[in-house]
A and B are shown apart, each in its own frame.
Chain A
Amino acid sequence: MRVFALSLALLLAFSVAQKVGVFFDGEIADYNALISHVGKLGNEVATHKIGELESKLIVDGSSAYDTICVIVPSESLSATAIAALEKHLDKHAGNMYLAFSHTVDMTVRRFLFSHFNVKAGTKEVTAFPRIHSGSPILPKKIDAEAVKYSGIAMFPQSFSGKFPLLYGDEVVGAIATQGHANNARVVLLGSTLPITNTGMADSPTRQFVAATLGWTMGYSGKLRIAGTTHSRVGASHGGYDDAGYAAGDYIEWGTTLEQFIDGRWEPFTPTDAQVELVCMDVWARETLAPSNTGLAATIRAPEKPGVYKFVLDYERVGYSRLHDEEQVQVRQPKDSFHPRFESQAWPYYGSVLAVSFMFVAFVALYLNSAPVSKKVEEDKKDN
């Protein structure tokens, strides 16, 4: 509990305030605990009836909120409301925390299916299923099976492509997805019970909601590239200039990755990050190893000159995607790359000089000793 309180305090202190819109159906009083929780995180919270979704979410063509919390205990959402949600997600990369009841109609089901590849069940389930571990969304200390839950089960249609981050063996009660335009984050909750005042009063449920909502808003699972460097191994200046790298150079590429934890950026040093050198195809791929400044790898510049890109593409379940590209040129060796004179080749130089000298000497001697032939004289006369 103290850890949770401390986390909240740190979040308040360091996180950037977001605009959060809560769109609800029913009575707002039922969700006071949730709204209070979001507000305590330092966010600007606005509440609207679900019917105002289309008018309040997209204002002047843009989404009015960074994150929306949509609570749909009743049956349906209108087509225009669905369109507003789509715009919020796809065009504006807004985050969404969507909780609905087991009585949702086909409009919502189709929305879930077409956007998240999730099929919603029809039978009501009352227990939260076991969740596969390894997700950065839920800290290990949270006992997911103790979460108060009364709603429907959802079935991911396939695990190809974007992976759902919360799922169980047979059914899932909540699904979190990421990877919408610009890494928008979405949590689908098949029950409204956990976010009601009743659910939030229960400790495991409150922790569950705090963790999933925090992830949706980007308080966890958030990575960034603090910086990248590259230089020729052993280069005194250490930098990269317009002349680029020469084919065959050894290049040290380094990066500093950071993770947003408890309201501040901490170093992040995964063991499975790789850097690639790409010129249409991948020419070199190296796994990054921990170094003084973060992560680093040594890459040999290909023999083929060209415009290459260092590409770091780190996409892991639950984390924001890291993608960085930097263009460099690998050029041919300069014409002065090889020494102009090799002292070992003295026999060659000696023979060339000797032959040249002898040629000139021979011509001089010949011209001064031999009589001018008749033919040469005739030629001159011809001319």
Chain B
Amino acid sequence: MVKDDGIASETSMKALNIVILASIFILAFGVRLFAVIRYESVIHEFDPYFNYRATIYLIENGFEKFQNWFDDRTWYPIGRIVGGTLFPGLMTTAAILFKVLNYFHIFISIRDTCVFLAPFMAGLTAITAYFFGKDMRDDRTGLLAALLMALVPAYISRSVAGSYDNEAVSIFALLFAYLLWIKAVRHGSVLLAALTAAAYFYMAASWGAYVFIINLVPLYTLVSVLVGRYSVRLHVAYTTFYVLGIVMTMQIPFINYQPIQSAEHLAAAGIFVFMQGIGVLRYLSSRLPEHDLRRVFRNVGLTAVIGFFAVTVALELSGFVTPWSGRFKSFLDPTYAKAHIPIIASVSEHQPTTWGSFFFDLHILAFLVPAGVYFALDGLTDTNLFVLLYGVCAVYFSGVMIRMMLILAPVSCLLGALALSRVLDSLTTAVRSRINAKDVKAVVGAAAALVFLVGLLVSFTRHSVWATSEAYSSPSVVLMANTPTGRVVFDDFREAYSWLDHNTAEDAKVMSWWDYGYQLAQMSNRTTIVDNNTWNNTHIAMVGRAFAQNEDDAIVTIRLLDVDYVLVVFGGLVGYSSDDINKFLWMVRIGGGEFGGVHEQDYFNSRGQYTVDKSVSKTMRDSLMYRLCFHRFGEVVTDRRFPGGFDRVRNVEIGDKDIKLKHFEEVFTSQHWMVRIYKVKLENNW
């Protein structure tokens, strides 16, 4: 009878777990729908527009054509070999989901599939976090991890509905690969290690941050050996994972031979060799007497280490192994990008993270993580060691680059869940035992601490929902502002893209700064010169330099590129600060860095300030960007306290109110002047 009760209780607990997990899944999905409810089912930001376009191509043309896709409508005239220069994981996932749903007569459009993919994957990530937490301690830890994962703002920031980017599926793939890896190590299972490799393959097919896996897993293996946790299980898991993982990832055209040629993958190869050496030594240790073994260890070990470094250096010098990429070097030296690769430094998500961001994106987890580290060290297991290493690396990387907060989010949830679960367990145990002992003071103290913890969780939930609603649910392409008269929607981008779609020739070429390339290609269906892929620095520099030059010089490049229309984004009328004038110095830096002839200091006034007012430098005033943004702006009164031409972003009256264009003709300006389009005049024939 007792046994039956126990089974019944276990069954009901399992059922309860499933119900809670299902609720967490729904919560993870639901909390990410603010954007859809507030705006509409719309793709967000910039990169997702390319992903959306690529998904349409994949579904309409099939995988083979997708793999061989040469896109002649972007990066004109050099084009882009799309199939070989993207991570196909996201599009393939969406395409499969779309096909499966339609097969079962659940008719959903491609756009909706893309819009809702990220929330769906977030639900799966929460479930994965559950199993991870369960592996770390118990069911309750798992449930807490799942809950935190579903709500942590750092992850929500990249997984709201419409945020159709690689990260949408990658975080799931990352956590799932780690979960399988931990299980493979725990069981020494070839099958689980092979599944880890498959999950790693999926991650590699989805996002460049797969490099994090192929470095963290070897690091974990190395540390395990160094702290005396070597086991055959670890050996089997790592060897299987490495070999299969490398072979699998090499099947992705974009990655190609990198797993055996790039410096980022070299550590994994080194650890593979190292593990075989350890295996051989352990085998010999069971066969040879101790003094012979030492000699062998000394001679063979030393030779192996020297040989490995010699081979590595030789491969580096011969050029067979490609050096570390710019992004990877930025991780090791955060100042590297700004000094050497301005195009990487110019991206806002590549900036170092501020302390405020840590609190904003992690909230109570920022404080729970250290406690989690303590508890993980307290009962060190394979899983906890892995989570600790993951946490340390992720904290470092997230400090270097704000985008890496996303990598930090899962491990924060795991460590936070561990800490919470340990504390909650202690407190509930204390309450129960003290009630039995009738120790009122202790009961009240423990109960108060419990209430405080629950309060923290409530506060975390409130913060997460608020952050999702206010900070992470704006689609960027449609903006909203609160005014005394109510909310105002700025739909200028779509208005302008739609104008291009309806009023220009189908083969018209549109030049803009690269930020808008993906949106232009998808929404306007027009050929673009550069876009957010930023694969060709020279081409971007050509565009940057053209915007930085005067009209007569710029027109040479513009005609060379067969440009028909030039599009600029201008925020001076409504105070939209992410406009091209504020991005302009990056164009100057990138253009000047590649070609020379354009110098940043020429764009500052005599006092060394970057300004557009009357003290503006001649070079700045003559630049194409200045002229296209401020053309006719002098006629507009934006603030009654000032005469016409008052720029509400820079808060100054512009210096040149009488701009006459020579080679360009204004053809479209959106309702709030945020997007301005100019037609390039035909060349005089004589």
Contact between B561 and A280, CB atoms less than 8 A apart: yes
Given contacts A279-B78, A306-B77, A379-B188, A181 and B72 within 8 Å (CB-CB): no
When distances are taken between beta carbons in the complex, the residues of chain B under 8 Å from A331 are: 68, 70, 79, 81
Q: What would 25 A/B residue contacts be, using CB atoms closer than 8 Å? A: A162-B686, A181-B684, A182-B685, A279-B78, A305-B79, A305-B81, A306-B77, A306-B79, A308-B77, A309-B77, A327-B72, A329-B70, A329-B79, A331-B68, A331-B70, A332-B68, A332-B84, A335-B253, A375-B282, A375-B286, A379-B188, A379-B231, A379-B233, A383-B188, A383-B231
Which B residues from 173 to 190 make CB contacts under 8 A with A?
A: 186-188
Shortest distance in angstroms between B474's beta carbon and chain A's nearest beta carbon? 35
**In the complex, B5 has a CB within 8 A of chain A:** no
Q: Which of A306, A334, A373, A382 is close to B231, meaning CB atoms less than 8 Å apart? A: A382
Contact between B84 and A307, CB atoms less than 8 A apart: no
Contact between A329 and B286, CB atoms less than 8 A apart: no
CB-CB contacts of A76-110 with B at 8 A, as 1s and 0s?
A: 00000000000000000000000000000000000
Contact between A244 and B72, CB atoms less than 8 A apart: yes
Given contacts A331-B70, A335-B253, A307 and B77 within 8 Å (CB-CB): yes
> Which of A306, A308, A334: most chain B CB closer than 10 A?
A306
When distances are taken between beta carbons in the complex, the residues of chain B under 8 Å from A376 are: 232
Shortest distance in angstroms between A17's beta carbon and chain B's nearest beta carbon? 26
**In the complex, B507 has a CB within 8 A of chain A:** yes
CB-CB contacts of B59-74 with A at 8 A, as 1s and 0s?
A: 0000010011010100
Contact between A181 and B81, CB atoms less than 8 A apart: no
When distances are taken between beta carbons in the complex, the residues of chain A under 8 Å from B79 are: 305-307, 329, 331
Which A residues from 306 to 364 make CB contacts under 8 A with B?
A: 306-309, 327, 329, 331-332, 334-336
A338 to B191, CA, bound (A): 34
When distances are taken between beta carbons in the complex, the residues of chain B under 8 Å from A309 are: 77
Contact between B685 and A379, CB atoms less than 8 A apart: no
A329 to B74, CA, bound (A): 12
Contact between B78 and A306, CB atoms less than 8 A apart: yes
Contact between A244 and B233, CB atoms less than 8 A apart: no
Q: Which of B68, B186, B686 is close to A383, meaning CB atoms less than 8 Å apart? A: B186
A334 to B63, CA, bound (A): 13
- Beta-carbon nearest neighbor of A89 in chain B: B686
A241 to B187, CA, bound (A): 55
Question: For chain A, which range describes its interface: under 10, 10 to 19, 20 to 34, or 35 or more residues?
Answer: 20 to 34
**In the complex, A179 has a CB within 8 A of chain B:** yes
Contact between B70 and A244, CB atoms less than 8 A apart: yes
Interface size on B, residues (CB 8 A): 27
A280 to B538, CA, bound (A): 13
Given contacts A305-B79, A306-B77, A332-B70, A327 and B232 within 8 Å (CB-CB): no
When distances are taken between beta carbons in the complex, the residues of chain B under 8 Å from A300 are: none
When distances are taken between beta carbons in the complex, the residues of chain A under 8 Å from B188 are: 379-380, 383
**In the complex, A130 has a CB within 8 A of chain B:** no
When distances are taken between beta carbons in the complex, the residues of chain A under 8 Å from B507 are: 327
The 3 tightest CB contacts between A and B, nearest first, are A331-B70, A307-B77, A329-B72
Q: Which of B83, B84, B686 is close to A180, meaning CB atoms less than 8 Å apart? A: B686
A309 to B77, CA, bound (A): 9
A128 to B76, CA, bound (A): 54
- Beta-carbon nearest neighbor of B81 in chain A: A332
Given contacts A244-B72, A331-B70, A335-B67, A383 and B187 within 8 Å (CB-CB): yes
**In the complex, B560 has a CB within 8 A of chain A:** yes
When distances are taken between beta carbons in the complex, the residues of chain B under 8 Å from A162 are: 686
A383 to B685, CA, bound (A): 83
A238 to B98, CA, bound (A): 37
> Which of A182, A183, A375: most chain B CB closer than 10 A?
A375
A227 to B685, CA, bound (A): 23
When distances are taken between beta carbons in the complex, the residues of chain A under 8 Å from B83 are: 335
- Beta-carbon nearest neighbor of A374 in chain B: B286
Q: Which of A161, A279, A379 is close to B232, meaning CB atoms less than 8 Å apart? A: A379
A161 to B77, CA, bound (A): 29
A41 to B72, CA, bound (A): 49
When distances are taken between beta carbons in the complex, the residues of chain B under 8 Å from A181 are: 684-686
When distances are taken between beta carbons in the complex, the residues of chain A under 8 Å from B78 are: 279, 305-307
When distances are taken between beta carbons in the complex, the residues of chain A under 8 Å from B67 are: 335
Given contacts A327-B507, A329-B72, A383-B233, A279 and B77 within 8 Å (CB-CB): yes
Given contacts A280-B560, A383-B233, A305 and B70 within 8 Å (CB-CB): yes
Instruction: List 4 other contacts, CB 8 Å, given A244-B70, A305-B81.
Output: A181-B686, A182-B685, A336-B64, A380-B188
A181 to B79, CA, bound (A): 32
Shortest distance in angstroms between B398's beta carbon and chain A's nearest beta carbon? 32
A50 to B81, CA, bound (A): 63
Shortest distance in angstroms between B546's beta carbon and chain A's nearest beta carbon? 13
- Beta-carbon nearest neighbor of B231 in chain A: A379
A380 to B187, CA, bound (A): 8
When distances are taken between beta carbons in the complex, the residues of chain B under 8 Å from A332 are: 68, 70, 81, 84
Shortest distance in angstroms between B281's beta carbon and chain A's nearest beta carbon? 13
When distances are taken between beta carbons in the complex, the residues of chain A under 8 Å from B686 are: 161-162, 179-181
A329 to B70, CA, bound (A): 8
CB-CB contacts of B547-582 with A at 8 A, as 1s and 0s?
A: 000000000000011000000000000000000000
When distances are taken between beta carbons in the complex, the residues of chain B under 8 Å from A183 are: 685
A183 to B507, CA, bound (A): 25
Which A residues from 172 to 212 make CB contacts under 8 A with B?
A: 179-183
Shortest distance in angstroms between B504's beta carbon and chain A's nearest beta carbon? 16
A380 to B253, CA, bound (A): 40
- Beta-carbon nearest neighbor of B185 in chain A: A383
Contact between A334 and B68, CB atoms less than 8 A apart: yes
A29 to B72, CA, bound (A): 63
Shortest distance in angstroms between A381's beta carbon and chain B's nearest beta carbon? 11
Q: Which of B64, B72, B231, B560 is close to A307, meaning CB atoms less than 8 Å apart? A: B72
- Beta-carbon nearest neighbor of A328 in chain B: B72
CB-CB contacts of A276-291 with B at 8 A, as 1s and 0s?
A: 0001100000000000
A376 to B282, CA, bound (A): 12
Shortest distance in angstroms between B531's beta carbon and chain A's nearest beta carbon? 14
A21 to B93, CA, bound (A): 70
A332 to B684, CA, bound (A): 37
A376 to B560, CA, bound (A): 69
Shortest distance in angstroms between A272's beta carbon and chain B's nearest beta carbon? 21
CB-CB contacts of B278-309 with A at 8 A, as 1s and 0s?
A: 00001000100000000000000000000000
Shortest distance in angstroms between A230's beta carbon and chain B's nearest beta carbon? 16
When distances are taken between beta carbons in the complex, the residues of chain B under 8 Å from A244 are: 70, 72
When distances are taken between beta carbons in the complex, the residues of chain B under 8 Å from A305 are: 70, 78-79, 81
When distances are taken between beta carbons in the complex, the residues of chain B under 8 Å from A307 are: 72, 76-79
